[in-house]
């Protein structure tokens, strides 16, 4: 498996691509995402490709003590750092999960909400991964894809499908792939922080 191709480091990718612009404020961005996805106290969410965990830790504040956040990663170093930070913060409702190239590794039907922040364009096996995203959602659950269109001057991501058109992914491709996986588009937000878009899907 080409681990470097699916590092799933959303935060790191954002910093590298946008030189800080897209990194933004995790608390503010999660507040907006939580409102869009209608999180409530007790919501079970998953941060796919959690990286350093900044958005995971912001998310757990939103779902409260009755809620839960899964933080998935494929990179061994990031996994160790995440587990260490979770232990340091004594967060019993954050579960760190080792993801795989084609699998979230999340339990079936575990989540009310799943989000991928600048991670989807790194997926090397999107069809298989999308099927696992759908499997991990509860009926009525929502999936948010935050990403950006391909742009000039960025190194290509090795191993991803050729229809990406460069580093990034067209919104149209995201919609086509996740619709084919069985999800329905619920809302599209084109003014997401960091010159990104957010597509919200629902599992019926």
Q: Please name which of 5, 58, 11, 4 lies closest in space to residue 30, comparing C-alpha atoms.
A: 58
pLDDT at 13: 44
CATH numbers and ranges of domains, the chain: 3-202 (3.40.50.150)
pTM for the predicted model, two decimal places: 0.89
Task: Give the SS3 label for residue 133.
Answer: helix
Distances (CA, A) of 63 to 38, 98, 185: 10, 22, 23
Quote the CA–CA distance of 74 and 182 in Å, as a whole number: 25
B/e letters for 80-103, b = 16+ CB within 10 Å, e = fewer, are ebbeebbeeeebeebbbbebbbbb
For residue 152, the tally of other CB atoms under 10 A from its CB is 6
Quote the CA–CA distance of 149 and 4 in Å, as a whole number: 21
Q: Which residue has the tokens 């750092």?
A: 81
Distances (CA, A) of 88 to 85, 92, 106, 147: 5, 11, 23, 30
pLDDT at 24: 53
CB 142 within 8 A of CB 113: yes
Phi, psi at 178, each rounded to 5°: -80, -25
Question: Which tens digit of pLDDT belongs to each residue from 68-79?
Answer: 999 999 999 999
What letter would DSSP give residue 193? T
Q: What is the mean pLDDT of residues 137-155?
A: 95
Per-residue confidence band for 21, with pLDDT thresholds at 50, 70 and 90: very low
pLDDT top residue among 57 and 16: 57
Element (H, E) at 178: helix 171-180
Q: What is the mean pLDDT of residues 43-56?
A: 97
* Strand pairing report for 111-117 and 44-48: parallel
């Amino acid at each position: 498996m080409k681990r470097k191709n699916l590092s799933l480091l959303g935060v790191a990718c954002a910093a590298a691509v946008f030189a800080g612009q897209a990194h933004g404020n995790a608390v503010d961005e999660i507040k907006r995402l939580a409102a869009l996805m209608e999180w409530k106290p007790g919501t079970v969410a998953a941060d796919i490709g959690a990286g350093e965990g900044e958005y995971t830790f912001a998310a757990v504040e939103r779902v409260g003590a009755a809620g839960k956040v899964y933080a998935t990663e494929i990179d061994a170093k990031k996994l160790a750092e995440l587990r260490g930070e979770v232990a340091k913060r004594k967060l019993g409702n954050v579960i760190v999960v080792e993801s795989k190239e084609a699998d979230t590794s999340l339990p079936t039907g575990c989540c009310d909400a799943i989000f991928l922040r600048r991670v989807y364009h790194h997926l090397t096996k999107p069809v298989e991964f999308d099927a696992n995203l759908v499997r991990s959602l509860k009926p009525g659950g929502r999936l948010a894809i935050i990403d950006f269109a391909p742009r000039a001057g960025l190194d290509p991501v090795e191993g991803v499908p050729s229809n990406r058109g460069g580093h990034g992914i067209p919104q149209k491709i995201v919609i086509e792939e996740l619709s084919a996986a069985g999800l329905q588009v619920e809302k599209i937000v084109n003014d997401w922080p960091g010159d990104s878009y957010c597509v919200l899907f629902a599992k019926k």
